[in-house]
Chains A and B, each alone.
Chain A
Amino acid sequence: MNGYRYLAGIVTGSVSLLKGMRVTFANMVSRPHTVQWPRQTAPLPARFRGHIRMLADEETGFPRCFACGSCARICPSACITVQGRKPGDRKKKVAVRFLLDFTKCSLCGLCVESCPARALAFSRDYALAGYRDTEFRTMDLLEGLASPFQF
């Protein structure tokens, strides 16, 4: 009986090993799942959160932000610095400085939710890397937007 079990163990063990080898061989001859970034791109999820960005007003092209500071107040990591001024002809303030310290941000999204002007959104910058951390310590979100203060 014992001898039978010994031999049966060897046979069943070998069969199970062969089954495992069949799986890996099938893997090997099937098509790889790799997306060859950066030559190809894998789809990003629709709700992907990159660093926040500032949206522009459709009419004027100025930043939507009126520097109320609620984002800076609610941010748990204190990564946002906002300053605004009133342009001469308007009632509302417009942001003149909007700095993000992305190295402290943990993408919780409280700033986006709390913004009364809906001025903030998540960007789709997914592959940031740099040689110095200072590039990301003060990211100027107003870059590229028009400003009413260009004299």
Chain B
Amino acid sequence: MFASFVHTVYTLAFATILLLVVGGALLAVTARNLIHCFFGLVGALLGVAGLYYNLGSPLLAVMQVMIYIGAVCVAIAFGLTLTRKQGEEGMRPLDIKAAIPVVLVVAMLSATLKSLAGREIVASARKIDESRIGWMLLGDYLLPFELISILLTVAVIGAVTIALINRRI
């Protein structure tokens, strides 16, 4: 009786997370108001953090919150508050161009499902040590890690250049 109650609670929690992910993502692509899109995105990312937690990796979940919501979304919000309300009429959610990502996503999903078909999916029960991630990043995957940092530096320099175009210092 008690165990089944706990089970129900966990199921409900999982359903909430799914709802957050799917609903947030839908809101992010369909809402007319830019800030509604933004908060849809935040909700979807929070839901993904919940999924990570459910899969047994709290570290990844916390990092998802810290990086994607605490950093990426805040950067987006910073851009949003500096943009002018302009050309809102031109943005229709059901444009013909919107079909392109839909086709891509459907193709990717079907490919993934096809490759997974027939296999048994087991969530990894093995606990990943945080320090191992660090060793991996600075050992085996050092080159990709450094490449990403170069990419970020290039992005920062590009942003500064774009910002300086109209400044004429």
Q: Do chains A and B touch in the complex (CB under 8 A)?
A: no
